[in-house]
Amino acid sequence: MSRRTPIFAAACFCLLASSGRVVWAFGDEAKPPPGGDSGRAGGPEKQAVTAEACVHDAALRLDQFQSLSARVRCKAEIFGQRIIGNGEYRQGSADAHLLRWDNKLQIGGEVATVQYVADGQYLWVHQNRRGKSTLDRVDISPVLAAEETFPRAADGQLVFGSGLGAIGGLPRLMRSLDTSVDFDELSENKVPARTAKGTVEVPVLLATGTWSATAWSRILPEQAAEIKAGAPPNLRRLSEHVPDRIVLMLAREDLFPYRIEYLRTSGDVRKPLMVIEFYEVQRNVKLDPQLFTYTPGLIPFGEATAQFIGNLPTP
């Protein structure tokens, strides 16, 4: 798939961040999902928690939703390009591999569209750029089989943390961040949010961390032995498009990840590489099954499973 999807790989599978205050438009009231304490008595309202505990709970809660619908916006400055994206994201239950993501990207002065539809068996990728339309198909089963060879954390979760992927979507991204990042800072803030009753100040948690030793060993394989022995990574050899800090903005009430930032440190400055923001979020709503079907008709498509697997993080 690398032959046809460099803009999407850069915009969505890489990394994200921006600065400033965020204005959300919530599609529903923020309430914990059923069984919302995620196995921790009382949740964050009734006990002191760590950043890692909050992120872990956030990942577990996403797996409980039967559906998610949200608007998505993103901004990135990587590989010498400024990329701005807006789109609509919808998914079924986390293990059904049902996902639809319609996205419009502005790359400099150019506009492109990307549509991802995962129907449980195949992932369809339809792109339109520079007046040229392309369609690719990815067989999901071989992708999942390839991922079985990847390193895993003690709880069995995959160890890698990339962007919002079209197979697994937001729940998988959060699970990978949970296992790939050591979140060591937790702070509280309030941000303005639009609701049916007007603009209100919503309390949020900010969880900040850097890659785990296992993840650093894979990002900087030439330093793997030293990192595994306890030495900090030498970031002077880190590619400039790779982040070294991740910040999650979680709703204080139900830990939904409304904002995901990827930052790069240079001296005393943390430069934003990419940010993903979710708004008008609706949980457990009834979605039309036709959203997750794709019929190419007479449109020719390429078989891109091998390319997709080739672009995954390697063990």
Give the pLDDT band of residue 17 (cuts 50, 70, 90): very low
Rounded Cα distance between 98 and 106, Å, is 26
Q: Where are the alpha helices (DSSP H) in 46-108?
A: 51-64
Specify the pLDDT at position 24: 28
Specify the pLDDT at position 153: 55
Q: What percent of the chain has pLDDT over 70?
A: 78
Rounded Cα distance between 112 and 134, Å, is 12
DSSP state of 228: H
Rounded Cα distance between 97 and 93, Å, is 7
Residue 25 has pLDDT above 90, yes or no: no
51: alpha, beta or left? (left if phi > 0; alpha if psi -120 to 50) = alpha
Q: Side-chain half-sphere of 229: how many Cα atoms within 13 Å?
A: 5
Residue 138 has pLDDT above 50, yes or no: yes
Tokens of 101: 């993501």
Encode pLDDT of 79-95 as tens digits.
788 899 999 999 998 78
The model's pTM:
0.79
Kindly report the average pLDDT of the chain as a whole number. 80
Encode pLDDT of 267-298 as tens digits.
888 888 999 999 999 999 999 999 999 998 88
Rounded Cα distance between 233 and 143, Å, is 30
Give the pLDDT band of residue 165 (cuts 50, 70, 90): low
Q: What percent of the chain has pLDDT over 90?
A: 52
Rounded Cα distance between 169 and 80, Å, is 26
Mean pLDDT on 14-18: 27
Encode pLDDT of 27-61 as tens digits.
233 333 333 343 333 444 444 589 999 999 999 99
Residue 275 C-alpha from the chain's centroid: 10
Lowest mean pLDDT among 25-29, 72-76, 130-134, 207-211: 25-29
Encode pLDDT of 178-191 as tens digits.
988 999 999 999 98
- Inter-residue contact 249 to 259 (CB < 8 Å): yes
Residue 171 has pLDDT above 60, yes or no: yes
Tokens of 141: 């089963």
Residue 99 has pLDDT above 90, yes or no: yes
Give the pLDDT band of residue 214 (cuts 50, 70, 90): confident
Residue 228 C-alpha from the chain's centroid: 27
Amino acid 128 reads N
CATH class of the domain at 6-310: mainly beta
Q: 3-class SS at 308?
A: helix
Helix axes 169-180, 51-64, angle to 10 degrees: 160
Q: 3-class SS at 232?
A: coil
Q: Where are any strands of DSSP class E within 156-290?
A: 181-195, 198-211, 245-251, 257-266, 269-283
- Inter-residue contact 216 to 230 (CB < 8 Å): no
Residue 23 has pLDDT above 90, yes or no: no
Mean pLDDT on 221-225: 94
Q: 3-class SS at 108?
A: coil
Residue 310 has pLDDT above 50, yes or no: yes
Number of other residues whose CB lies within 10 A of the CB of residue 138: 23
